Chains A and B, each alone.
Chain A
Amino acid sequence: MSSVFVSLVTVLFDGVSFGMILFLISVGLSITMGVMRVVNLAHCGFAMIGGYLTVTFTTMAGLPYGVAIVLAVIGTMLIGAVLERTVYSWVYGQSELGQVLMTMGLVLVMIASANALFGSSIQNVPVPSTLRGTIDVGAVGLPVYRLFLIVVAAACGVAIWLGLEKTAAGARLRAAVDNARMAGCIGINVKSLFAVTFAIGCGFAGLGGALGADMFPLEPYYALHYLVLVLIVVSVGGLGSIKGTLCAAILLGLVDTVGRYYLPVGGGIVIYLATLVVLLLRPQGLFGRPA
Chain B
Amino acid sequence: MKHEFNKLLPAHALPHYRLGPMDVLPWIVALAAFFTFDTYLSLGAQILVMVIFGLSLDMVLGFAGITTLGHAAFFGVGAYAAGYYNLHVSQEPLSGLLVAGGAAGIIGVLSGLLVLRTHGLALLMLTMVITVLLHEVANAWGSVTGGADGLSGISVDPLFGSFEFDLYGTTAYLYALGVLFLVFLVVRTVVNSPFGLSLRGIRENAKRMGLVGASVHLRLVAVYTLSAVLAGIAGGLAAQLTRTVSLDRLTFQLSGDILIMLIIGGVGRMYGAFIGIPLYMLMLDRAAAINPFHWMFAVGLMLIFLVRFAPGGLMSLAERAPFTFLRRAPAPAVSDAKEGA
A residues contacting B by CB (< 8 A) are 33, 37, 39, 87, 90, 94-98, 100-102, 104-113, 115-116, 220, 224, 228, 231-232, 235, 239, 265-266, 268-269, 272-273, 275-276, 279-280, 283-284, 291
Contact = CB atoms under 8 A, between A and B. Distances in A.
Given A105-B303, A269-B137, 14 more contacts: A95-B338, A100-B67, A101-B307, A108-B297, A111-B300, A112-B296, A112-B300, A228-B128, A228-B252, A235-B125, A268-B133, A269-B140, A273-B133, A276-B133
A107 B61 CA distance: 22
8 contacts: A90-B307, A104-B303, A105-B300, A108-B303, A111-B296, A112-B300, A116-B297, A228-B128
Contacts of A235: 121-122, 125
Interface of B: 61, 67, 69, 114-115, 118, 120-122, 124-126, 128-130, 132-133, 136-137, 139-140, 252-253, 256, 259-260, 263, 267, 293-294, 296-297, 299-304, 307-308, 311, 334-335, 337-339
Q: Interface of chain B, helix or strand or loop or mixed?
A: helix
A104 B124 CA distance: 13
Contact of B121 (A110, A111, A239, A265): A239
A96 B136 contact: no
Contacts of B260: 101, 104
Nearest to A105: B303
Nearest to B301: A109
A37 B119 CA distance: 13
Given A95-B339, A269-B137, A272-B132, A232 B302 contact: no
A95 B304 CA distance: 13
Contacts of A272: 129, 132-133, 136
A97 B300 contact: no
Contacts of A268: 132-133, 136, 139
A263 to B, nearest CB: 9
B61 A97 contact: yes
A291 to B, nearest CB: 7
Contacts of A100: 67, 69, 124, 259
A272 B136 CA distance: 9
Nearest to B65: A97
A96 B68 CA distance: 11
Contact of A276 (B61, B126, B293): B126
Contact of A97 (B140, B253, B302, B334): B334
| Residue among B115, B256, B311 with max Cβ neighbours from chain A (10 Å) | B256
B299 A33 contact: no
A269 B128 contact: no
B67 A276 contact: no
A283 B114 CA distance: 12
Given A108-B299, A283-B118, A96 B293 contact: no
Given A95-B338, A269-B136, A108 B125 contact: no
Interface centre among A115, A266, A283, by most chain B C-beta atoms within 10 angstroms, is A283
B303 to A, nearest CB: 3
A226 B253 CA distance: 12
A275 B115 CA distance: 13
A112 B338 CA distance: 31
Given A101-B307, A108-B303, A96 B124 contact: yes
A284 B122 CA distance: 7
A280 B300 contact: no
Contact of A228 (B120, B121, B132, B299): B132
A100 B300 CA distance: 12
A97 B67 contact: yes
Contacts of B300: 104-112
A39 B121 contact: yes
Contacts of A113: 297
Nearest to A227: B252
Nearest to A235: B125
Contact of A112 (B130, B133, B294): B294
**Residue from B133, B136, B307, B339 with most neighbouring chain A CB atoms (10 Å):** B307
Contact of A106 (B122, B125, B263, B304): B304
B308 A102 contact: yes
A280 B115 contact: yes
A232 B130 CA distance: 12
Nearest to B66: A97
Contacts of A224: 253
Looking at B124, B253, B301, B334, the one whose CB has the most chain A CB atoms below 10 A away is B124
Contacts of A110: 300
Contacts of B256: 104
Nearest to A228: B132
B304 A87 contact: yes
Contacts of B296: 108-109, 111-112
Contacts of A232: 125, 129
Given A100-B69, A276-B130, A33 B259 contact: no
Contacts of B132: 228, 268, 272
Given A101-B303, A102-B308, A228-B252, A266 B124 contact: no
Nearest to A99: B307
B3 to A, nearest CB: 29
Given A105-B304, A280-B114, A231 B136 contact: no
